[in-house]
Amino acid sequence: MSRMTLASLRPPALAGAALVVLLALSGCASGPRANPQDPFEPFNREVSRFNEGVDAVVLKPGATLYREHVPPLVRTGVSNFFGNLVDAWSAVNSALQLKVRDAAENAMRFSVNTFFGLGGILDLASEMNIERHREDFGKTLGHYGVPAGPYVVLPLLGPSTLRDSLALPVDYGGDLVREVDSFNTRNTLYVLRAVDARANLLRVSDVLEGAALDKYSFTRDAYLQRRRALIESGRSGRRDPAAGGEDDYEYEEDEPPASGTDPAPPAAGGTPEPSGR
């Protein structure tokens, strides 16, 4: 394979290509009995099947090996490192939403963990009870009333909405991993982040496999409900009990998420595996 590899594909490019195809096929993908929130359901199901195939062949085996052979302490450090990078972008989006306290706490988390936690490997901010508030540009748009639009499933990236898909290029611009100069190091970090996120949700995907009669519908409804709850709680200033302050995609060893958490993956969607972005 040449320089064009899965690791070199950019999320905005994937999202943009998917949206172009969705718009081109919108006339034949929807029908009179379509779910009003999911007018592209036939096409979305095909993308979900593709994502599940990629997950079964690449992501899940890689995540399983990672979980079985990498010590828990190291995996925790990897998750902390990437979570710390997200805190920086969350601080920006909290500020854009005029959530001054949330922005300050996110910025403080990033500063403490970066300078005193070995670049974020140690989560000292949580030990100091500095709360994490996960935000992204899709949630910022929703905060100001931009409608979610139809549900879409993006190749490799998984469940989304039209609003969140259009926000992806902005989220990508705020991803500190892209600031790494070395091409190989940057792509290694992208792959490691995807494997770590998938490994954190191995137990969740197993639970869903056994529980869901229609995995596609279950994932879609859970994703839309989750995003709506996060945005509505953010607007009202309430804390969403299901959201918590921690990473949406981090769970204890061998412990499934509490009822109401988002089973949708941050990458290679269809099979639950997480923002992100």
Nearest by Cα to 135 from 85, 168, 94: 94
- Gap between the Cα atoms of 149 and 54, Å rounded: 27
Encode pLDDT of 160-188 as tens digits: 999 999 999 999 999 999 999 999 999 99
Predicted confidence band of residue 209 (pLDDT cuts 50, 70, 90): confident
Encode pLDDT of 140-159 as tens digits: 999 999 999 999 999 999 99
- Gap between the Cα atoms of 277 and 274, Å rounded: 8
pLDDT tops 80 at residue 105:
yes
In which element (H, E) is residue 159 found? strand 158-161
pLDDT tops 70 at residue 250:
no
Domain spans of the chain?
37-236
Encode pLDDT of 35-50 as tens digits: 899 999 999 999 999 9
Encode pLDDT of 55-92 as tens digits: 999 999 999 999 999 999 999 999 999 999 999 999 99
Task: Write the single-letter amino acid at 126.
Answer: S
Give me the torsion for CA of 21, 27, 30, 31, rounded to 10°. Answer: -170
Tell me the pLDDT of the chain averaged across its residues.
81
Encode pLDDT of 131-142 as tens digits: 999 999 999 999
Predicted confidence band of residue 233 (pLDDT cuts 50, 70, 90): confident
**pTM reported for the whole predicted model:** 0.76
All residues at 6 or more sequence positions from 135 whose CB lies less than 8 Å from its CB, including other chains: 89, 90, 93, 94, 97, 102, 106, 234
Contact call for residues 50 and 153 (beta carbons, < 8 A): no
Residue reference for tokens 């639009």: 149
All residues at 6 or more sequence positions from 86 whose CB lies less than 8 Å from its CB, including other chains: 134, 247, 275, 276
Encode pLDDT of 5-36 as tens digits: 344 445 555 555 555 555 544 444 455 566 89
- Gap between the Cα atoms of 16 and 18, Å rounded: 5
Nearest by Cα to 195 from 265, 114, 129, 96: 265
